[in-house]
Chains A and B, each alone.
Chain A
Amino acid sequence: DMKVTQMPRYLIKRMGENVLLECGQDMSHETMYWYRQDPGLGLQLIYISYDVDSNSEGDIPKGYRVSRKKREHFSLILDSAKTNQTSVYFCASSLRGNQDTQYFGPGTRLLVL
C-alpha cells in the first residue's frame, strides 16, 4: 500500500523553540517535497529534495531547513520557531518522471505560541 506518513500530526510549540517534522514514504520515490498551507494561499513549496543529500530551496525557504539522509525519510526543521510559522505542513513524494503525480502525507498542524 503506497503511503506517505507524517509525524507528529499535531504540535504546539512556544516561540523560539526548535521544531522537527518528519516524513516517510514506502514507495522508493526519489523526489520529496515540503509544503505549507495557509488559508487562501494554497500550497506553498518550502523545499524539494531530489534524493539523499540533494535538496533545493522552494518558494519560501526562509526560516526552514531540511535533512534527507535516507531516501525514504525527509525532515523539516524550524530553528527557533516563529508565530508566523503556524500552519499546516504537508509532505509529498513522487517519482522522478515529470508525468508522475505526487502522493501527499496527511499533514502536520503546527501552532507556534
Chain B
Amino acid sequence: AQKVTQTQTSISVMEKTTVTMDCVYETQDSSYFLFWYKQTASGEIVFLIRQDSYKKENATVGHYSLNFQKPKSSIGLIITATQIEDSAVYFCAMREGATGYQNFYFGKGTSLTVIP
C-alpha cells in the first residue's frame, strides 16, 4: 500500500496567486518527519521544507508553508504569491522515526504550472 499519496496529478494557477498541494500519509509511528521537494524542469530535486510530527506549529520557509493536520494524516504545501519559476513537480515524502530505519517514502508528485 502506498504510504504517501498525492492525489493531484497536475495543477495550473495564475501568477501571484496562492496554491495548495495535498498530501496524505500512513504511519504507525508516533514520531515521523514530513518533507516537500521540488523537481525543476532540468531534473534537479531540491529540498524545500520539513514538518516534524511532534510540532504543532506549521513550518514556514520563505513563500512556502505547510498545513499540517495530524488527525487527518495530511500535510499540504502552500505556495503564496506564486512565480513563474515555481513551475515544477512537487514531491511529498515521509521518514518514519523508528531507530535505524532510514527509508524515505515518496508520493508520485504534483506538477504545478504557473501561468503568467
Min C-beta distance of A44 to chain B, whole Å = 8
B44 neighbours in A (Cβ, 8 Å) = 104, 106
Instruction: Check A99 for interface membership: any CB of B closer than 8 A.
Output: yes
Instruction: Check A96 for interface membership: any CB of B closer than 8 A.
Output: yes
Could you tell me if B102 and A94 are in contact, using CB atoms closer than 8 angstroms? yes
Instruction: Check B28 for interface membership: any CB of A closer than 8 A.
Output: no
Could you tell me if B47 and A101 are in contact, using CB atoms closer than 8 angstroms? yes
Could you tell me if A50 and B91 are in contact, using CB atoms closer than 8 angstroms? no
Contact residues, A75-108 vs B (CB, 8 A): 88, 90, 92, 94, 96, 98-99, 101-104, 106-107
Instruction: Check A33 for interface membership: any CB of B closer than 8 A.
Output: yes
**Candidates A45, A88, A101, A104; contact of B103 at CB < 8 Å:** A45
Could you tell me if A107 and B104 are in contact, using CB atoms closer than 8 angstroms? no
Could you tell me if A101 and B106 are in contact, using CB atoms closer than 8 angstroms? no
Could you tell me if A101 and B45 are in contact, using CB atoms closer than 8 angstroms? no
Instruction: Classify the interface of chain A: helix, strand, loop or mixed.
Output: strand
A102 neighbours in B (Cβ, 8 Å) = 35, 47, 104
**Candidates B45, B96, B106; contact of A98 at CB < 8 Å:** B96
A5 neighbours in B (Cβ, 8 Å) = none
Q: A48-B102, A94-B102, A98-B33 are in contact. Are A41 and B97 (CB under 8 A)?
A: no
Q: Which 9 A-B pairs have the closest CB atoms?
A: A42-B108, A104-B45, A101-B47, A43-B106, A107-B43, A98-B95, A31-B102, A99-B33, A42-B106
Q: Which residues of A contact B (CB under 8 A)?
A: 31, 33, 40-43, 45, 48, 50, 58, 88, 90, 92, 94, 96, 98-99, 101-104, 106-107
Q: Which residues of B contact A (CB under 8 A)?
A: 31-33, 35, 37, 43-47, 50, 52, 91, 95-98, 100, 102-104, 106-109
